[in-house]
């Protein structure tokens, strides 16, 4: 949120109070804990004598370290209220050392130190290897009151010359976030807007550090878009916590961030194969489904997973978790037939219960649905409902343990029937005018809701299938990476949407998520065959690959014969890469390094790679440059070193831009020198 009117003035309706004077500091040490912390009292006016301590606010800062090279800052104004909800952070063994003297208070953790200058000129600096990597100086830490009575805590981090900001979740806006206003608030906005399904209050910069704002509610960021030499983040709260994570490389930053917030499990090999969907509002029954599967088999296109989208259930009754008997009269027998050759089955679900669902009355009676605050004295009263999506739509309250068990009990029979995984759709449009079972603040639960929803389903899958557990989720927040996999949401059938999908995936990878997918060909509209064929190569060189659409199916023969050939080629290519992909997935599991990597992850010292968002590294050794045009012209960058064309075997030198033209069955695909993948060159 923007508070200022230029450099000098406040916007109308806002008043700000900033930390000006580090008045006192002390070293704290918990009983039996070798690690120390700092407690700093910051006055909001300069204290020259005792009288200056009257009629002035103070800000309290606690600085500690949950892990080496990580400094956590918690700053607060009034402490009489309920603390803000925070994401769980793993505490590792760390020995942080604090010191206070007349000039400075310091806390050192590993190679990172925070320094607070004592006295009347506010200055807080983060120092790594004797270099200031970020700072918070005048008017950088404070609280803002607005005319509506809201209390905002605001912090600003410096933005150095040439410093660029990345991450903040799966964002489809420009890849480099400088100049943008970003609200960490999950919304169902498609891929062609500034809204995002997966908002992550974490960013990293090319200056060697990342910042994790540990607040589950709405966090507003101004990335050089208000104070152009600063990143500002604010929230309506009385306490706000953020962690500064020193790398210095982007990979090391992600390693340390995911050590705090969680890493994904290893996924089963079958999940990396091709997923085929019925699509959304298309007409289908068992005969249609069998025709799709037989069509893939007859055309020698390996298929790993078949997905039944929404209309496996009866209209208006989403979700009742019952097969529509009109189109699927014998679902158990059908699944047995479909799975005879090793095919896996996915089903679409969401956390909403339409009024026509038999589960609505049951959930209402048991208290398992979100309630309005229209009861006596503002207590829980009627079930929260609206008519968007399903008529009389209600929402499951996952803060209620009994509701979670109830929800799982409706899914368990489907797993026993032969279903292998669930597409956990939605979870973003969560209201704030509700009362939760556990009393959670609805504003701070809005983003966190998806975590409880996906965790409920993922835990059931782990219980049922252990190492084969996988969801196909759309919404996420911090920690969502531990419950893969996630896909990019509702894109359109255009080259522009193909490019924005890639930007979103690369940003999500720089936000701690190891796996990612997208709807090949685009979800909305009926893609031109050229769009579909170009997208096939990109989609099958992504960590997970799914054919899915809205009003039309994405079976390749629905486009043209060449689309069939392109699908077959790239499915087989991905299958040939499987040992490499499984090894690459270990990096996500062990270090938080995504499978699809922004170029800056592998080449942080190459300034050109800081800006690239139309190509990526698929694992450490395979460079992919999707083609975003029907004519096949593409320009891409090869970093320094020797590169081998995966298809032709031609060896070229990097450190330069390359222009090529490709037919639909090809794209720039280059292997890094020394890679074991060189054994596959020229064989696809």
CA angle, residues 183, 189, 192, in degrees to nearest 5: 100
Strand ranges in 247-315 using DSSP code E only, listed in sequence order: 274-277, 305-308
In whole angstroms, what is the distance from residue 183 CA to residue 487 CA?
20
User: pLDDT (tens digit, 9 = 90+) per residue, 482-541?
Assistant: 999 999 999 999 999 999 999 999 999 999 999 999 999 999 999 999 999 999 999 999
Rounded Cα–Cα distance for residues 579 and 222 (Å):
42
CA angle 260, 264, 270 (to 5 degrees): 175
Concerning whether 405 is annotated as a catalytic residue, the answer is no
Do the Cβ atoms of 588 and 596 come closer than 8 Å?
A: no
Q: Look at strands 141-146 and 70-76 and give their pairing.
A: unpaired
Domains 4-261 and 596-680 share a fold: yes
Q: Could you read off the pLDDT of 278-321 as tens digits, one per residue? A: 999 999 999 999 999 999 999 999 999 999 999 999 999 999 99
Maximum Cα interatomic distance, the chain, rounded to a whole number of Å:
87
Strand partners, 546: 275, 519
DSSP 327-384: T-S-HHHHHHHHGGGS-EEEEEE-SEE-TTSHHHHHHHHHT-B-B-S-SGGG-S-SBP
* Residue 557 · residue 292 · CB < 8 Å: no
Are 153 and 240 in contact, with CB atoms under 8 Å apart?
A: yes
pLDDT at 634: 98
Strand, coil or helix: what is 545?
strand
Residue range 645-675, pLDDT digits in tens: 999 999 999 999 999 999 999 999 999 999 9
Q: How far is CA 131 from CA 64, 125, 296, in A?
A: 20, 10, 58
Question: Under CATH, domain 4-261 is a member of which superfamily?
Answer: glycosyl hydrolase (family 31) (2.60.40.1760)
Calpha distance 168→42 (Å, rounded): 29
Helix axes 250-261, 578-591, angle to 10 degrees: 70
Q: Is 172 helix (H, G, I), strand (E, B) or coil?
A: coil
* H helical segments located in 466-494: none
Q: Give the Cα separation of 463 and 468 in Å (integer).
A: 10
CATH number for the domain running over 270-347+400-428+442-586: 3.20.20.80
> Per-residue b/e over 93-106, b at no fewer than 16 CB within 10 Å?
ebebebebeeebbb
User: How far is the C-alpha of 415 from the C-alpha of 426, rounded, in Å?
Assistant: 21
What would the DSSP string read from start to end of 10-68?
EPTTEEEEE--EEEEEEEEE-TT-S-EEEEEEEESS--SSGGGGTT--EEEEEEE-SST
Phi-psi region of 451 (alpha: psi -120 to 50; beta: other; left: phi over 0): alpha
294: annotated active-site residue: no
Q: Render pLDDT for 351-400 as a digit per residue (tens, 0 to 9).
A: 999 999 999 999 999 999 999 999 998 888 999 999 999 999 999 999 99
Is-catalytic flag, 425? yes
Query: Does residue 31 surpass a pLDDT of 70?
Result: no
Q: How high is the pLDDT of residue 30? A: 73
Average pLDDT score over the chain? 97
Q: Are 145 and 137 in contact (CB under 8 A)?
A: no
Q: Which residues of 347-369 are buried (b: 16+ CB within 10 A; e: fewer)?
A: bbbbbbbbbebebbeebbeeebb
Question: How are beta strands 209-213 and 21-29 bridged, if at all?
Answer: unpaired
In the chain, the N- to C-terminal Cα span, in Å, equals 51
Domain boundary assignment for the chain = 4-261, 270-347+400-428+442-586, 596-680
CB 247 within 8 A of CB 256: yes
Task: Evaluate if pTM is beyond 0.95.
Answer: yes
As a whole number of angstroms, the distance between CA 158 and CA 224 comes to 9
What is the spatial order of strands in the sheet that 141-146 belongs to? 14-18, 141-146, 151-158, 230-236, 219-223, 181-184
- Comparing CA positions, the residue from 435, 277, 411, 440 lying closest to residue 350 is 411
Scanning 192-242, the segments in alpha helix (DSSP H) are: none
CATH 3.40.50.300 fits 596-680, yes or no: no
DSSP character string of 65-93: -SSTTEEEEEEES--SSPPPP--------
Strand partners, 239: 76
Q: Alpha-carbon distance 153 to 388, whole Å?
A: 34
If one compares 170 and 375, the residue with the highest pLDDT of the two is: 170
The angle at the Cα of 247, spanning 242 to 251, to the nearest 5 degrees, equals 110
Quick one: angle between helices 401-417 and 358-366, nearest 10?
150
Helix (H, G, I), strand (E, B) or coil at 242: strand
Q: Is 671 helix (H, G, I), strand (E, B) or coil?
A: strand
CA dihedral defined by 66, 71, 72, 74, rounded to 10 degrees? 150
SS3 of residue 117 by DSSP: strand
Q: What is d(CA 129, CA 175) in angstroms, rounded to the nearest whole number?
A: 29
Question: Is the pLDDT assigned to residue 32 strictly greater than 70?
Answer: no
Of the candidates 170, 490, 519, 524, the residue annotated as catalytic is 490
Average pLDDT over residues 133-155: 97
Q: Which one is catalytic: 241, 425, 602, 621?
A: 425
Express each pLDDT in 244-284 by its tens digit.
999 999 999 999 999 999 999 999 999 999 999 999 999 99
- Within 13 Å of residue 241, how many CA atoms lie on the same side as its CB? 20
pLDDT at 607: 97
Q: Are 678 and 645 in contact, with CB atoms under 8 Å apart?
A: no
Instruction: Kindly name the residue from 252, 255, 428, 613 that is annotated as catalytic.
Output: 428
């Amino acid at each position: 949120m923007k508070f200022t009117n230029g450099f000098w003035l406040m916007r109308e309706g806002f008043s700000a109070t900033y930390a000006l004077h580090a008045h006192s500091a002390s070293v704290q040490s918990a009983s039996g804990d070798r690690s120390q912390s700092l407690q700093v009292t910051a006055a909001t006016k300069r204290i020259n004598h005792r009288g200056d301590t009257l009629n002035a606010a103070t800000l309290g800062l606690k600085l500690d370290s949950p892990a080496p090279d990580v400094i956590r800052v918690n700053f607060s104004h009034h402490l009489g209220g309920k603390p803000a909800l925070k994401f769980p952070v793993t505490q590792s063994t760390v020995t942080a050392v604090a010191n206070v003297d007349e000039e400075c208070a310091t806390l050192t953790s590993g190679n990172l130190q925070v320094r607070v200058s004592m006295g009347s000129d506010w200055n807080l600096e983060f120092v790594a290897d004797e270099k200031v990597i970020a700072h918070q100086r005048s008017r950088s830490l404070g609280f803002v009151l607005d005319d509506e009575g809201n209390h905002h805590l605001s912090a600003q981090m410096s933005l150095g010359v040439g410093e660029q900001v990345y991450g903040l979740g799966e964002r489809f806006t420009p890849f480099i976030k400088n100049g943008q206003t970003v609200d960490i608030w999950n919304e169902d906005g498609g891929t062609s807007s500034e809204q995002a399904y997966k908002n992550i209050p974490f960013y990293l910069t090319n200056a060697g550090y990342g910042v994790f704002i540990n607040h589950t509610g709405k966090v507003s960021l101004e990335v050089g878009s208000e104070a152009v030499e600063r990143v500002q983040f604010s929230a309506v709260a009385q306490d706000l916590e953020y962690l500064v994570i020193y790398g210095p490389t982007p990979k090391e930053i992600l390693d340390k961030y995911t050590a705090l917030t969680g890493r994904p499990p290893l996924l089963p090999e079958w999940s990396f194969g091709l997923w085929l969907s019925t699509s959304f509002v298309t007409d289908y029954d068992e005969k249609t489904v069998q025709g799709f599967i037989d069509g893939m088999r007859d055309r020698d296109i390996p298929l790993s997973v078949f997905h039944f989208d929404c209309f496996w259930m009866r209209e208006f009754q989403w979700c009742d978790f019952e097969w529509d008997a009109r189109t699927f009269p014998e679902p158990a027998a059908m699944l047995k037939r479909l799975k005879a050759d090793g095919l896996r089955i996915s089903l679409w679900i969401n956390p909403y219960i339409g009024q026509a669902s038999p589960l609505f009355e049951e959930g209402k009676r048991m208290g398992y649905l979100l309630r309005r605050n229209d009861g006596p004295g503002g207590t829980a009263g009627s079930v929260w409902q609206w008519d968007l999506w399903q008529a009389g739509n209600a929402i499951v309250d996952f803060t209620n343990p009994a509701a979670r068990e109830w929800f799982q009990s409706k899914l368990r029979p489907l797993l026993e029937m032969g279903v292998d995984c669930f597409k956990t759709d939605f979870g973003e449009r969560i209201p704030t005018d509700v009362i939760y079972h556990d009393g959670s603040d609805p504003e701070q639960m809005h983003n966190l809701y998806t975590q409880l929803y996906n965790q409920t389903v993922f835990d059931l899958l782990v219980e049922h299938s252990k190492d084969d557990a996988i969801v196909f989720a759309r919404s996420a927040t911090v920690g969502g990476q531990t419950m893969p996999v996630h896909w990019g949401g509702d894109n359109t059938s255009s080259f522009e949407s193909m490019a924005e999908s890639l930007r979103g995936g690369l940003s999500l990878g720089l936000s701690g998520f190891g796996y990612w997918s997208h709807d090949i060909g685009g979800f909305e509209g009926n893609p031109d065959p050229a769009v579909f064929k170009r997208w096939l190569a990109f989609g099958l060189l992504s960590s997970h690959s799914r054919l899915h659409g809205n009003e039309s199916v994405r079976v390749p023969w629905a486009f043209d014969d060449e689309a069939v050939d392109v699908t077959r080629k790239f499915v087989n290519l991905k299958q040939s890469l499987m040992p490499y992909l499984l090894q690459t997935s270990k990096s996500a599991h062990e270090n938080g390094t995504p499978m699809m990597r922004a170029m800056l992850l592998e080449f942080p010292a190459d300034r050109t790679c800081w800006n690239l968002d139309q190509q990526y590294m698929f694992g450490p050794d395979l460079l992919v440059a999707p083609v975003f045009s029907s004519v096949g012209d593409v320009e891409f960058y090869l970093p320094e070193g020797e590169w081998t064309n995966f298809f032709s075997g031609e060896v070229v030198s990097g450190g330069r831009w390359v222009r090529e033209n490709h037919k639909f069955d090809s794209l720039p695909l280059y292997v890094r020198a020394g890679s074991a993948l060189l054994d596959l060159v020229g064989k696809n």
